[in-house]
Amino acid sequence: MFRQPLLWQAARTAARPSSVAVPSLRPHIQRRTLLSKRDFRQTGTRAVENLNLRNIAQSSADYHRNKQIFLSCGIVAGLVSFIYVSYRIVLEIKKNPIKADADPSNPLSDPGAANRKIILHDENGKEIVPTGHSVVPSFPRTISLPSFTGPLDATEPVQPGTITTAAAPETEYTLVGLGTRTVTFIGISVYVVGFYIATADIAALQSALVKKVNPIATTLVPGEREELRNELLDPAHGAKLWDELLSHNIPARTAFRVIPVRDTDFHHLRDGFVNAIKARGPELSGKGVDDESFGEAMKQFRAVFNRGKVPKAKELILARDDKGHLSIAFDGGKKAGGRQLIGVVPDERVSRALWLNYLGGKQVASEPARKSIVEGIMEFVERPVGTVASMVVPLAR
């Protein structure tokens, strides 16, 4: 009774066309061979089975690595571009120095104004120039030296009382430049040295230097000053120029003020001076240094330094007069009688060779002192001949 309807329903279902595929109940399993690549896109029938933590971690690491490489390349490219542009700017400045904006009436507009000495005032109102060294913090802008007179034979012991007198006239000297003498590759400071010129003799030096650059000028414009500066700083031209000036006693009266920054002795200072004279002697113009008279002069020079200790911060003066005579004075303090002349060497070649050791040549005793002296000379030649350059920069307190 009930079987016939069931059979009829089954036959009807079998005769009906199938339009939808019946999914298989068995899961699809991906087959891999030895050379096939693994496909992580379909690893299972569920969505969570498509995630691969190792692949995600590797992708993140690759992203951050590429980002770091890109940023590093940008930094390197920026530095290289900056260095290259700076290099090109320096080359252009050297080829075409900027001179149009310089004001001849304003000393601070000169290219070397930043290197010039700064003049201050101490508690007594005297003008001083900072040295930058803690042991010898400053040098006086002007000093007064007597016209040293005494026996020219320095081989005999010199008595201070027979050299100078209280009534001896004094001459004012103006500081041109200063610097620190250093030795060895680590730059051990030995002494601070300053170059002074008699104030009355500055005009002669002004005239000689100005006429050398421009024979019809009374002062130098910025371009001409730069030309003179380069010549004075050049090892060969600078030494030749100073040798020519000193051989004609221009400037007539000059002095070097030497202040040790550590305890030393006269023998140590003498050895340094003698080596400098020997090195510069062959460069001197004139009759040379091979005759007996120069050897005798060197004996006199050595004899002056046959003394004992030189405490730090004590003054040693090397003065050259209008005849080229070298006078050496030492100030051992009030207990020692103050500044006293200890010897005179009459041969002008000795003082000229010693002066060249500081003023010109390939190797000078103190390169900072040489540059400072050159900038001091620039202060002179920018003013009309016959005037003394002065620049006082007040100290803010």
Say what percent of the chain tops pLDDT 90.
Answer: 45
In the predicted structure, residue 226 carries a pLDDT above the cut 70: yes
In the predicted structure, residue 13 carries a pLDDT above the cut 90: no
Contact 153, 122 (CB under 8 A): no
When pLDDT is cut at 50, 70 and 90, the band that residue 27 belongs to is low
Q: What is the pLDDT of residue 373?
A: 95
The kind and range of the H/E element at 170 are strand 170-183
In the predicted structure, residue 111 carries a pLDDT above the cut 70: no
Helix (H/G/I), strand (E/B), else coil: 354 = helix
Provide the residue type at 340 as one letter: Q
Q: By 3-state DSSP, what share of the chain in percent is helix, strand and coil, each rounded to 5? A: 40, 15, 40
Per-residue pLDDT tens digits for 46-71: 555 566 788 888 888 889 899 999 99
Say what percent of the chain tops pLDDT 70.
Answer: 74
The burial class, CB within 10 Å (0-12 / 13-18 / 19+), for 92 is exposed
Beta partners for 170? 146
Question: Has this prediction a pTM greater than 0.75?
Answer: no
Per-residue pLDDT tens digits for 121-141: 878 888 899 998 889 999 999
The burial class, CB within 10 Å (0-12 / 13-18 / 19+), for 187 is exposed
Could you give the CA distance from residue 47 to residue 201 in angstroms, rounded to a whole number?
101
**How many Cα atoms within 13 Å fall on the side-chain side of residue 20?**
2
In the predicted structure, residue 180 carries a pLDDT above the cut 80: yes
